Amino acid sequence: MDWMDEVQRRKEELLEDLGGLLRIPSTYDLSTAGPDQPMGAEVARALSYMLELSSREGFRVKNEAGYYGYAEYGPGAPDDDYIAVLCHLDVVPATGEWTSPPYEPSIRDGKLYARGAIDDKGPTLAAFYALKIVKESGLALKRNIRLIFGTNEENQCRCIEHYKVMEKKPLTGFAPDADFPIVHAEKGQINTRVVLRQIGASASANENDRSGLFLASFFAGGVPNMVPEAARARVAGPEERLEALAEEFRSYLAACGRPGQVLLEDGEASFHLEGKSAHGMEPDQGINAGLLLIHFLKDYLFQEDAQRFLACTDAYLFEDWRGRALGIASEDEITGPLTINSGIIQYEPEGESFFHINLRFPVCDDDSRILPQIEKSVGKYGFIVEPPIIKKPHHVDRLHPVIQVLQRVYRYATGEEPKLLSTGGGTYAAHIPNGVAFGPLFPGKVSLAHQPDEFIGLDDLFKSAAMYARAMYELANEDL
């Protein structure tokens, strides 16, 4: 059977259905959460959209209280063994400057631009049409195939945790949410806030006897798994001190080669600095605006709490993506080095002051080693580590049948050797037995996931759909 020919016959329909999903701004939003929409109204709308498409195609569907849904096809009953394809419908916020509106899909030069185009709505529709092709082919299957639609992958994976409680585990499966050829290992993750224990920073700038400067607020970022692209701070103090500080900041911006500005008004200086966003699993690919602004401010004397906040954050995070200063660096041949990103940084004299860490550690390491060392290091500055969210590392042996099948599919479709990869990112694959990630990003291609002007190449989208169709068919008939 020519799987690619089947995709080509349906490509216009695929793009039309994908466009409808991309137009839904399905970001996590507790302000609109409620019954049957625990992740917010727009995420719920995206789930309803996919289940309506699934009903249209005659798949068995389920919506589990808005946490997740699925579309299933195959010869067995709903509780029989099945192969899982794990997708997610939520997206990160569409921050930054876009060439075209992020929720109005735009095709330019053979690429489809929109938030979610490659992470993960494009691959989701590719998998959906793959299952549609398998069904319409009439080919016999030994097992059911289930497309799982998650709703909280970009936040805390509450959807898939709920799924594991409510549903029978699949035999194996894949997530179309990473790279080709095959991602068979994922780093573990630690997500937590490191919070400053304040000892009294409510004094005004005029009452501060150290320098007359008072850090009134500091904010950077908003999503833990993204490198902050902008940071801002407010400093109060004597006019002559603020004017000198503003001039030094302008010189700092020029030396760093970064955009930014400072405004002086009513006894305050407002600082703004722009960095470069990137995925939290690759913090070295971005420029953390928050850490860059802190690195400037830390050389000046502020109130005691602010001084400790700036000193700790700068000492352990500035230009150190490997955790060396914290004493937690590690590395292995399967998944590479430990990485650490601070996606949210906040200081408020009368409120909470903290930095969030999104840490990814190799399969050779363990959170039981890492966390005590972080606590010891930041404790010197009066910080505490909140109870973390931990994801254990995941690794599938290269000889497992799921890998053998997907290698065969990839080799046939591309003519290239299907090397096994690892990732610092977290996918749903780590939540199921022997799960792996399979595409959609082809070797040598650039990904703008989590960044402005996110896109997926149309040829890559269609080729992925063809590969997913064959993979579903073969896995459903493989001896596992």
DSSP 336-386: EE-EEE--EEEE-TTS--EEEEEEEE-TT--HHHHHHHHHHHHHTTTEEEP
Total domain count, the chain:
2
Are residues 385 and 397 both part of a single domain? no
How much of the chain is helix, strand and coil, in % rounded to 5? Answer: 35, 25, 40
Q: Dump pLDDT digits (tens) for 67-98.
A: 999 999 999 887 799 999 999 999 999 999 99
| pLDDT band for position 209 (cuts 50, 70, 90) | very low
Residue 143 has pLDDT above 90, yes or no: yes
Euclidean distance between CA atoms 252 and 122, whole angstroms: 41
Residue whose token pair is 């890998």: 403
Catalytic residue among 6, 17, 72, 90: 90
* Cβ atoms 480, 136 nearer than 8 A: no
Distances from the Cα of 71 to the Cαs of 50, 53, 465, in angstroms? 9, 9, 16
Identify whether residues 141 and 265 lie together within a single domain: no
Average pLDDT score, the chain:
94
| Residue range 424-446: mean pLDDT, rounded | 92
Residues 152 and 158: their CA atoms lie apart, in Å, by 6
Q: In this predicted structure, what is the pLDDT of residue 426?
A: 77
**Which residues, including other chains, have CB under 8 Å from residue 404's CB and lie 6 or more apart?**
none
Do residues 325 and 367 both lie within one domain?
A: yes
Domain range holding 255?
A: 189-391
Say whether both 314 and 423 belong to one domain.
Answer: no
More confident residue, 433 or 174: 174
pLDDT, mean of residues 397-425: 94
Residue 421 dihedral angles phi and psi, to the nearest 5°: -120, 165
Residues 458 and 218: beta-carbon distance below 8 Å: no
At residue 200, the pLDDT reads 54
**CATH, residue 201:** 3.30.70.360
Judged against a pLDDT cut of 50, whether residue 110 lies above it is answered with yes
Are residues 214 and 157 located together in one domain of the fold? no
On whether both 208 and 87 belong to a single domain, the answer is: no
Do 88 and 19 lie in one domain? The reply is: yes
- Residue ending a domain, among 345, 372, 391, is 391
Instruction: Tell which of 332, 363, 391 closes a domain.
Output: 391
The structure tokens listed for 107 are 């095709």
pTM for the whole thing? 0.75
3-class secondary-structure state, position 178: strand
Kindly report the CATH number assigned to the domain that includes residue 437: 3.40.630.10
Residues 387 and 402 in one domain: no
User: Is the model more confident about 423 or about 57?
Assistant: 57
pLDDT tops 50 at residue 165? yes
Q: Are 342 and 293 in contact (CB under 8 A)?
A: no
Residue 90 annotated among the catalytic residues of the structure: yes
* pLDDT for res 204: 44
Average pLDDT over residues 306-320: 97
What average pLDDT score do residues 297-302 get?
Answer: 95
What average pLDDT does this structure show over 410-431? 92
Mean pLDDT of 266-292: 95
CA distance 73 to 387: 41
Same domain? For 350 and 209 the reply is yes
**What is the predicted pLDDT for the residue at 344?**
98
pLDDT digits (tens, 9 = 90+) for 381-399: 999 999 999 989 999 999 9
Q: Within this chain, do residues 287 and 410 fall inside the same structural domain, yes or no?
A: no
- Mean pLDDT of the 164-188 span: 96
The sign of the CA dihedral 219, 93, 357, 258 is negative
**Cα–Cα distance, 410 to 418 (Å, whole number):** 6
Average pLDDT over residues 413-432: 91
Residues found in the chain = 480
- Do 310 and 351 lie in one domain? The reply is yes
Catalytic residue among 153, 282, 365, 367: 153
Q: What is the pLDDT of residue 212?
A: 82
Q: Indicate the residue among 343, 361, 391 that finishes a domain.
A: 391
Task: Give CA 411 to chain center in angstroms.
Answer: 29
Average pLDDT over residues 298-308: 95
Give the pLDDT of residue 46. Answer: 98
Secondary structure (H, E, C), 301-319: CCCHHHHHHHHHHHHHHCC
Pairing relationship of beta strands 344-347 and 214-221 according to DSSP bridges: antiparallel
383-385 and 188-196 strand pairing: antiparallel
Which residue bears the tokens 């890492």?
A: 370
Residue 4 to residue 295: CA distance in whole angstroms: 52
Q: Where does the pLDDT of residue 211 fall: very low under 50, low under 70, confident under 90, or very high at 90 and above?
A: low
Based on the fold, state whether residues 141 and 172 are members of the same structural domain. Answer: yes
